[in-house]
Amino acid sequence: MSRFPGVEIIANVSTPREARSLLDALEREALSRSRAGARHLMRHRAVADFATSPGMLALARRFVGDSAIPFRATLFDKSVRSNWLVAWHQDTALPLARRRETPGWGPWSTKGGIAYAHAPADALARVIALRFHFDDSRAENGPLRVLPDTHDRGVLTDAEIAILSRDIAPVDCLVAAGGVIAMRPLAVHASSKAESSAPRRVLHIEYADSLDLGQGLRLAPA
């Protein structure tokens, strides 16, 4: 296990057989894919079952408490055939059950019929992302890169993120297949393009301490 502020790497969360079974189930599904993968996967039984499995829930509870509940799942599928670069950023948009204009929330958008709003730091502090790896994440296949100790600085502007990316040495998050990277949404992160033929398939599942965020706002399963 490797740990630094805002991110933790946990090995051997799942056996190769369990990972293969989940990946096979996803490949049988008629997923609506983009170049980067597929979003809004909590509606698929195999993903929902995995997200609520004892091992994954136990991990999530370490970060957001005993009431941890999964609300969003996204498949990232990077290879030399489907390759992309992600600039330094924070994950600030949350899927919500309905649009409700609320101070501190927004701008709003709609993705796949689901309302999204950029959330304030206090709401994002209630969320943890568990990134389950179907494949080894290596230096050459475009791994997640993180700026340590940036998860508790609030929601940052693009200019502030650019300064941090110059001042803080990034860490490549490398983990073997079957492992998980736990990351706070406000940790500044990026990824480079893959430089090898080895795929990097990641199921990114987000958990919150409650679907109810207050002020009449509620997370939507996505």
Q: Structural domains in the chain?
A: 2-93+127-210 (2.60.120.620)
What is the spatial distance between Cα 208 and Cα 221, in angstroms, rounded to a whole number? 11
Q: Would strands 114-118 and 108-111 be described as parallel, antiparallel, or unpaired?
A: antiparallel
The beta strand positions in the chain, using DSSP E, are 2-4, 7-10, 33-34, 37-38, 69-78, 86-89, 93-96, 108-111, 114-118, 127-133, 144-146, 171-172, 180-183, 189-191, 200-208, 212-214, 217-218
Tens digits of residue pLDDT in 120-165: 999 999 999 999 999 988 888 778 999 999 999 999 999 999 999 9
What is the spatial distance between Cα 174 and Cα 185, in angstroms, rounded to a whole number? 18
Handedness of CA 87, 152, 77, 193 (dihedral sign): positive
Q: What are phi and psi of 12, to 5 degrees?
A: 55, 45
What is the spatial distance between Cα 25 and Cα 12, in angstroms, rounded to a whole number? 20
> Tens-digit pLDDT profile for the chain (222 aa)?
577 678 999 999 988 888 888 988 888 876 665 555 788 999 899 999 999 999 999 999 999 999 999 999 999 886 556 656 789 999 999 999 999 999 999 999 999 899 999 999 999 999 999 999 999 888 887 789 999 999 999 999 999 999 999 999 999 999 999 999 999 999 999 988 777 777 788 999 999 999 999 999 999 999
pTM of the predicted structure, to 2 decimals: 0.94
pLDDT attached to residue 82: 62
Cβ neighbours of residue 51 closer than 8 Å, sequence gap 6 or more? 42, 70, 73, 205, 207
Cis previous bond, 107, omega within 30: yes
Length of the chain: 222
H-helix or E-strand containing 21? helix 16-28
The beta strand positions in 62-188, using DSSP E, are 69-78, 86-89, 93-96, 108-111, 114-118, 127-133, 144-146, 171-172, 180-183
Q: At 43, which amino acid appears?
A: R
213 closest CA partner among 109, 121, 110: 121
